[in-house]
Structure 1
Amino acid sequence: MMDLTENLKSLGFEAGLTEDEKECLYLRSRSAGLTVSGCAHAVFVCQLVRLLRKKVSENVTSKTHLSVGIIGGGHMGKQLAIVLMHVNNIKPSDINISTKRPENLVEISKTGVECYYDNIRLAKWADVLFLCVLPSHLPQVCADLRSHLPSRCLVYSFTSATPLKRLATLLDHSFIIKPRYEFVACGDVTKMWYLHSEVTAALKDKEVLAASIPTSMSGGLSLDLSWVSAVLYSLLNMCTAEKLGSQKALQLLNDLFKTNITTNTFSLQSFNSSCASALLNSDDPFPWINLVDAQTKETPLSDLVSRNQSLQDCISVVFQNMFSNLEDGPNDALPGGNRN
């Protein structure tokens, strides 16, 4: 039966708003855009880490699956968990959530994701730990985690109000990635972010996925390219943690980013120009990179990412390929999304 009310403007969300309220509509796009792109970038990191671990296990004895921890069961924590569950090779049993109200995550628990309230337990278990908590809750969460985070646990923070250096001090931990987004309201182009009622559906939309590419975001959003450098340095640190020689680590990273655009993306100088000559004829691992410094100071890699279009194109291809087999998920509605 035909729905005669479909697309009737008088029944739309905007119809009941005052002119003053309409001026705030950009916040709707901003919220949806940050949710979609934030989840996409987090999944990209998890997939890169998982694939690298698989490659590393071919050279040394190490675990291959990825343990993903999420602290916070609010909007962002739920959305991230749902998207992760519909990515190839990440099982619900590989995801744990620590939240003050695990009883609110019954539907997610039924899928096999463990939900409980024990931040210390989660910190000891996770390989990648996402902080999805309010700024007011962060000091207590950091107090729980401090001294319990393994040095190789990658912390990824979505809590925007706390500067990176302050977060590192609170956690006494420097293996941290903190994306920095900017949003500029620019008319109808920002509407793409809330045209889908599910994050998984949004990421299957080629236009939305293209707008989420870390090195060339659009739709009013942009991402500081220091994030890209931090992600790449984090992969290098994981090789160092397994005591892989610099040449082998470099080979694995080049394999990870091999595309039809390029087969040899990185060199020793890409990551550490000061010790490149020393490592050239050596099998020593790369030195451990402080990710806080990598996101707050100029580095050889940040310079390469900013000026090398070929590298940016390569990252774009790898990013989009990560979502080529994204499965349909349950109804994980976005704020202000189209629910018709």
Structure 2
Amino acid sequence: MTPVDPLRGASRLAIDAVTGVTDLVEAMHAEIARLPLTAGGPRTSGITGLVYRSVRGATRLVGGGLDLALGALAPLLGQAGPAQASVVLAALNGVLGDHLEATGNPLATPLGLHPLVPGAQGLTLVFLHGLCMNEAQWQRDGANFPAALAALGYRPLGLRYNSGRAIWRNGAELAALLDDVPGPLTLLGHSMGGLVARSALAQAGGRHWPARVQALVTLGTPHLGAPLERGGQQLQQLLALSRYSRPLAALAARRSAGIRDLRHASLLEADTGRASRLPLPAGLRCYAVAATTAQQPGGVPARWLGDGLVPVASALGQHREAGRRLAFTDTAVFPGLGHLALQTDAAVLRQLQQWLVLTPPAAVAA
């Protein structure tokens, strides 16, 4: 990404937003005016329709010129950029990443592995971040999981990916990427990252790297889905009930593909919009960590509440149907923790060290 790409990408996003809101307002205008529907949806006519068409046309024209102008300014901008650009880009990709990719927006984050502890050697430990985050956020708030686990003899690599893409897309791309990583592997995923890891394993048929995976660890991963995303789906359905609020349903539907996949934990393309019924890989040590914001881990309310985003049962793969349960090698529940604290809490780190030191990292094969 060049220094100007964030500016150019932001301009394209603003253009898309203006034209999208224009479409929304016109659709509501048409519904309220009780105009007949066309094949392309509600559209106004006459002078009113001309106004809406003019707004769209002018926005696209100005936007195209702005994009060209920013491209011409690229050599002059050097390496200047906001210090928190990576955090903003990660959040933006989580919310609109599929749209950014589909429109060729330079703000779309490419998938790749990045060293987290320079000079570290040993068994490769891949850190997979969650929705709206990036690999740098494994090292924040005074905590540094990568450095602590590197001390055990691991080589931490952080996966950076566009978390707004469909989970299966990131999983398929990761499955291809890991073929080029030599030696034994361990996968550590927070939240959506755990689902991406499982998706990659499920789509790695015929590849060599799955046989080199030593362990899979997930932290607060919604293996059975996330209730908050189900709430977003219900809001979308309610808005669609009335002809006057129906255009707003399109706005609610603007959640990224990645967010929508969290509703049921959809891991494969064939499972889009429904729960994947994938067991954990046979013969692989698999561990799961859950948290609850309640101070005491026991009891139904604490387990339902979970870490504020993911219920305990979902994080541990505990489904009432036997066919949906996940047979983890071991699990742990931490009280008094929220979802993001799973990446920084000292007790969680100690649990990871206990699990991952069981098989000391071997020297990386050539």
Q: What TM-score do you get using the length of structure 2 for normalisation? A: 0.26
Higher strand share: 2
Flag the structure with larger Rg. Answer: 2
Q: What TM-score do you get using the length of structure 1 for normalisation? A: 0.27
